[in-house]
Amino acid sequence: MTQVDTPQQSLRELLATQVQRHGDAELLVTESGRWSYAELDRMANAAAHVLLDRGVREGSVVMTRCQNGAAIAATWLACIKMGAVFLPLNAMLTGRPLLTIMASAGGRVLVCDADLLDAVVSLRPELPGLQHVIASGPATDSDGFEAALVRAPCDAPPPPRHNSGAPSKLMFTSGTTGEPKGVVWSRHAEKVHAVSYGAELVRIAPGETAYSCLPMFHATCQGTFLGTMLCGGRMVVDKRFDPFAFWARTRAVDAVFFPYVGTIVSVLASRPPRPDDADNPVRRAMGSAAPADRWQQFEKRFGLVLEDVWGQTETASCWTRPTPGKVRPGTVGRPTERWEARLVTPGGGEAPDGEPGELWMRAHAAHVIFDGYHGEPIGGALDADGWYRTGDLLSREPSGDLVYRGRLRESIRRRGEMVAPAAVESVASAHPTVSESAAVGVPAADSVEEEILLCVVPRDDGDFDHAALHAYLRAELPQFMIPRYHRVVAQLPKTPTTRVRRHVLRDEGLIDAWDSRAARRIRA
């Protein structure tokens, strides 16, 4: 594959060049408005001054809790301009999982959609470092984000000092241990990610449209946005995936490209066929976990090409991708030239073709993948030889293409989110009837995502009240983290070092588990 050259200019300078080239052309379209390159640039400048007025400086952490819209985009671009560290919080997080991340990050300013404020207000007493919460939305008052933008200057803020290794973005994932961890990207990593995303994954022409219904607090939508901007294109974003309106939406905005997660492909494939299915402008879709058994049928039915790739938040611009025009259904292509890969067996050897091994990856240059986890030493996630052990299982075809096989790590993929079992377990184990608990993923009906099975060791003998526990979890956890199934066990299977043997719980399946949707136990 062709190597993407990384420009010498900073990301701020590259984006400024695009504003000069395409100033009046439309850049961002959301459900609440549309902005040209020049208009969004002025909004980002104003947002930078709003942040400066509230004490944000180079290196400060700025948090957002926003759905897709201009507020998150302008705040993010403002951080790039001034050298602040951008932390897009998952808008679906609530309660203790949200508190844990916000407290760990230590951000002093939060830009938050007004309809998402309640979850933050209840946590505010436990966040003494959070000095300013700026509400965004049409119903906000004179202290709101939009009003502050109107009052702020629109000239560009002073540029940060030149330091390509300085932190630029902080994104929390479940991490390899199951605990939420803040992935730190340097300025150079974010620049290479943006440039490479546009050149390798988005690949649209100036003036063409990319459409996304994925959240902008995720790296995939972020890469699509900056990649589209660096291509000179237009980005249309909706707040959520609507399977009933999806194709009508792509036609209405004339989208030639969209990013996906496997659930989107699976759900669209399950919709009843229509005679106009292929009558849409989309040429390509890029993402991960497209179901192999529906891949070719999906492409033929909707008249487009699917390109499955592999990547993690930790790996930044180091992903796999298929050779354009040579996509092999069920595979995720090959590593780009920015990194090298090993597939390692449990014994430490190289996995033969067709056999799964853990993917180890090593970047060919500094500040191309993440610099480490927030609060930990820089480079601490790499071994002595510079290898990052991804925790993902892949195999290699004789052709050289890789196939994603699953995860060694404990995280659960649900509704497009990676759920850390520890986040569910800490809440469940605080219930007075629960002595100990372990959350594991079990296959969902679409065979792509997972449902959460919570295995519970009760404090007392006797009938266990599953409905009461479910009601408690509904009140304490975000919707996507609520376990669908509970199963009572006498004890959790553990290793000699007391780690839960989660594969044993998964292998035992759902027999005798309580299904919250049916409000009854599953019998053999």
* Rounded alpha-carbon distances, angstroms, from residue 468 to 363, 373, 486: 49, 37, 12
Per-residue confidence (pLDDT) for residue 84, from 0 to 100 = 98
CATH code for position 435: 3.30.300.30
User: Domain range spanning residue 277?
Assistant: 241-308
The helix/strand/coil state of 346 is coil
Residue 347 and residue 249 share a domain: no
Residue 418 and residue 507 share a domain: yes
Q: What is the mean pLDDT of the chain?
A: 93
Is residue 234 a part of any domain in this protein? no
Residue 498, class by beta-carbon neighbours within 10 Å (0-12 exposed, 13-18 middle, 19+ buried)? exposed
Which stretch of DSSP H or E encloses residue 51?
helix 37-53
Residue 298 and residue 358 share a domain: no
- Average pLDDT for 472-484: 94
Band of pLDDT at residue 162, cut at 50, 70 and 90: very high
Is residue 3 a part of any domain in this protein? no
Per-residue confidence (pLDDT) for residue 6, from 0 to 100 = 83
Residue 43 and residue 148 share a domain: yes
For residue 264 the two structure tokens come to: 């989107």
DSSP assignment of 408-424 equals SS--EEETTEEEPHHHH
CA–CA separation, 490 and 505 (whole Å): 12
Question: Does 439 score more than 80 pLDDT?
Answer: yes
Own/partner pairs, 343-350, CB within 8 angstroms, 24+ separation: 343/394, 343/395, 343/396, 344/389
Residue 451 and residue 330 share a domain: no
Residue 150, class by beta-carbon neighbours within 10 Å (0-12 exposed, 13-18 middle, 19+ buried)? exposed
The helix/strand/coil state of 329 is coil
CATH code for position 93: 3.40.50.12780
Residue 100 and residue 56 share a domain: yes
Residue with tokens 């180890």: 360
DSSP 494: B
Residue 434 and residue 487 share a domain: yes
* Rounded alpha-carbon distances, angstroms, from residue 491 to 331, 392, 405: 39, 28, 30
Is residue 226 a part of any domain in this protein? no
Contact 427, 473 (CB under 8 A): yes
Residue 358 and residue 299 share a domain: no
For residue 481 the two structure tokens come to: 């983290």
Question: Does 176 score more than 50 pLDDT?
Answer: no
CA–CA separation, 182 and 90 (whole Å): 12
Residue 147 and residue 280 share a domain: no
Contact 423, 97 (CB under 8 A): yes
What are residue 110's DSSP bridge partners?
63, 133
pLDDT tens digit sequence for 277-295: 999 999 999 999 888 888 9
Residue 157 and residue 22 share a domain: yes
From 355, 375, 405, give the residue that closes a domain. Answer: 405
Per-residue confidence (pLDDT) for residue 496, from 0 to 100 = 56
Residue 332 and residue 300 share a domain: no
- Average pLDDT for 120-145: 91
From 174, 190, 206, give the residue that closes a domain. Answer: 190
Is residue 218 a part of any domain in this protein? no
Per-residue confidence (pLDDT) for residue 412, from 0 to 100 = 85
Phi and psi torsions of 344, nearest 5°: -115, 130
Q: In what order do the strands lie in the sheet with 85-88?
A: 132-136, 109-113, 61-65, 85-88, 167-173, 181-186, 372-373
Nearest to 65 by CA among 39, 41, 86: 86
Nearest to 440 by CA among 386, 381, 492: 492
Which residues, 6 or more positions from 100, have their beta carbon under 8 angstroms from its beta carbon? 180, 423
Question: Does 178 score more than 80 pLDDT?
Answer: no
For residue 44 the two structure tokens come to: 């980002």
Q: Which range is least confidently modeled, 98-112, 162-176, 182-196?
A: 162-176
Is residue 504 a part of any domain in this protein? yes
CATH code for position 251: 3.40.50.980
CA–CA separation, 63 and 75 (whole Å): 9
Question: Does 409 score more than 80 pLDDT?
Answer: no
Q: How many domains does the chain have?
A: 4
Band of pLDDT at residue 175, cut at 50, 70 and 90: very low
Residue 378 and residue 251 share a domain: no
Per-residue confidence (pLDDT) for residue 4, from 0 to 100 = 74
From 405, 425, 446, give the residue that closes a domain. Answer: 405
Is residue 1 a part of any domain in this protein? no
CATH code for position 395: 2.30.38.10
pTM: 0.85
Per-residue confidence (pLDDT) for residue 497, from 0 to 100 = 53
Is residue 202 a part of any domain in this protein? no
Question: Does 465 score more than 60 pLDDT?
Answer: yes
Per-residue confidence (pLDDT) for residue 365, from 0 to 100 = 96
DSSP 114: G
Is residue 384 a part of any domain in this protein? yes
Task: Report the share of the chain in percent with pLDDT over 90.
Answer: 77
Residues 406, 104, 456: CA angle, nearest 5 degrees: 50
For residue 194 the two structure tokens come to: 């943006």
